Chain A
């Protein structure tokens, strides 16, 4: 999803996630009406990666603790011990494919990680529960170009491997064109362009730019 500032992309995303409540209409996730449900309830079906790497992880907690929070979505009130030694190896297996050296830092507090590491961890956490919908809110915008590319590649890999329905907001038109199989352009709260499949493949940056200018 692309669109200029103030077009309503983030508003839409926040409404789906539950941060904002809808003024009218209904919102259904996987067949469940969640229009008036809180954020925590919606997390059964959706996950979100925020723009700010600090938002998606708890900085004071360790990498392992953050993963536990993401993995055991239900049972946040449970009185069972959350850490079992057997999980350490499983967590390392999860972290290894990220290629960020996080598998050796399970007990490190997340606040000491770099922005790229934190965002990669956020991404992994968001996809651990195999959500029906993954929301990406300009999740590479706060990273340097190289890390941004790395996180984008990782996103592509995880999303295709797990076959996740994903909605990504981006300001980078090249990313919008390269990734995904549908492109929506929003302007002034209205959908201006909605292309998918082959039509999207044939779309070029110049076409988008002329649309933006209109």
Chain B
């Protein structure tokens, strides 16, 4: 069960990383996710059915996601739409795009080679999934770690953190936001491509709930791995995706029907959002109690001292004279 979760988690990890880029780096909740995830799946499966290799098809899926991100980015920055609305518009439009790409709502792969078939067939499916997931996710993480060490990456982080200051320092913030959307949705579409190959089909409905899955993975990851370095933060996303898969597998094992997984996902997200808040509140209260205790003791001491001073000036004087 854990092994399966690790494999599946690694395939979902690019989604978590994509959501992390918009949500954490750019500070934008991007709903394009729900459209770019199935877009990646649709493009990849269609490309494979028309004879492209799995690698090329997956890369095409990634690029398609980048284009979707570009559209949302332009709607957001150039047409000055609220980012939530921009994402909703792209996501809605992508439904039709995905239908056109696939031709029907569910397209299965036939005997096409998927990424895992490049590996020795003697390996178990779980091992194959883990190896493919680890390689793809590893490449994505490595490229992003490199990106965020470049000046462009710094400009991206600055834009998300303080766009007024970034613009004042010569950064074209609109461009940065668009680039961020593109990289993010490229990763998300890549995740869709991997999942489609793992499932053996692309489905028009596979994007539903992906933003919740992505956000939950981001937050779960951050609960377990905290840090400022970018490689640590990205690793936290991978870990988050794996733990999230594990939680879902456990729930399925407990006998929850597949139809209930979405509400379960939503429930997990609510919990992981509330957990750190409650934790903080608890910690603050404990701290305050400790502080008040100290102050109380000190005040007590202080008033005692002043009382002493008032009542026995001679004592003080005499001590001085000694």
The chain A residues found within 8 Å of chain B, CB to CB, are: 17-19, 38-40, 43-44, 47-48, 50, 54-61, 65, 68-70, 72-83, 109, 125
Contacts and interface: CB of A to CB of B under 8 A. Distances in A.
B228 A109 contact: yes
Contacts of B176: 76
Contacts of B168: 17, 39, 43, 47-48, 56
A74 B154 CA distance: 13
16 contacts: A18-B167, A43-B170, A47-B168, A54-B162, A55-B162, A55-B165, A58-B166, A60-B161, A68-B154, A69-B165, A73-B170, A77-B151, A77-B155, A78-B150, A82-B154, A109-B228
B151 A76 contact: yes
Contacts of B172: 38, 40, 76-77
Contact of B161 (A17, A19, A58): A58
A130 to B, nearest CB: 14
Contacts of B228: 109
B157 A72 contact: no
B211 to A, nearest CB: 23
Contact of B171 (A18, A76, A80): A76
B151 A80 contact: yes
A56 B152 CA distance: 20
B164 interface: yes
Contact of A57 (B149, B165, B167, B170): B165
The 9 A-B residue pairs whose C-beta atoms are closest, nearest first, are A39-B167, A43-B170, A73-B170, A78-B151, A58-B161, A76-B155, A82-B151, A76-B171, A58-B162
A174 to B, nearest CB: 28
A58 B165 contact: yes
Interface in B25-52: none
Given A40-B167, A60-B157, A77 B175 contact: yes
A72 B151 contact: yes
Interface in B109-144: none
Given A55-B164, A61-B154, A76-B176, 20 more contacts: A18-B167, A38-B172, A39-B167, A39-B168, A40-B172, A44-B170, A61-B157, A61-B158, A61-B161, A65-B157, A68-B151, A69-B166, A70-B169, A74-B170, A77-B152, A78-B152, A79-B150, A79-B151, A80-B151, A125-B169
A125 B165 CA distance: 11
A68 B165 CA distance: 13
B72 interface: no
B152 A76 contact: yes
B161 to A, nearest CB: 4
Contacts of A79: 150-152
B149 A83 contact: yes
Contact of B169 (A54, A59, A73, A77): A73
Given A75-B151, A77-B151, A81-B150, A69 B158 contact: yes
Contacts of A38: 167, 172
Nearest to A111: B161
B58 interface: no
B90 interface: no
B5 interface: no
Contacts of A70: 169
B228 to A, nearest CB: 7
Contact of B165 (A17, A56, A72, A76): A56
A168 to B, nearest CB: 16
Contacts of A56: 165, 168
Contacts of B153: 82
Interface in B218-267: 228
B173 interface: yes
A83 B151 CA distance: 8
Contacts of A76: 151-152, 155, 169-172, 176
Contacts of A17: 168
A43 B167 contact: yes
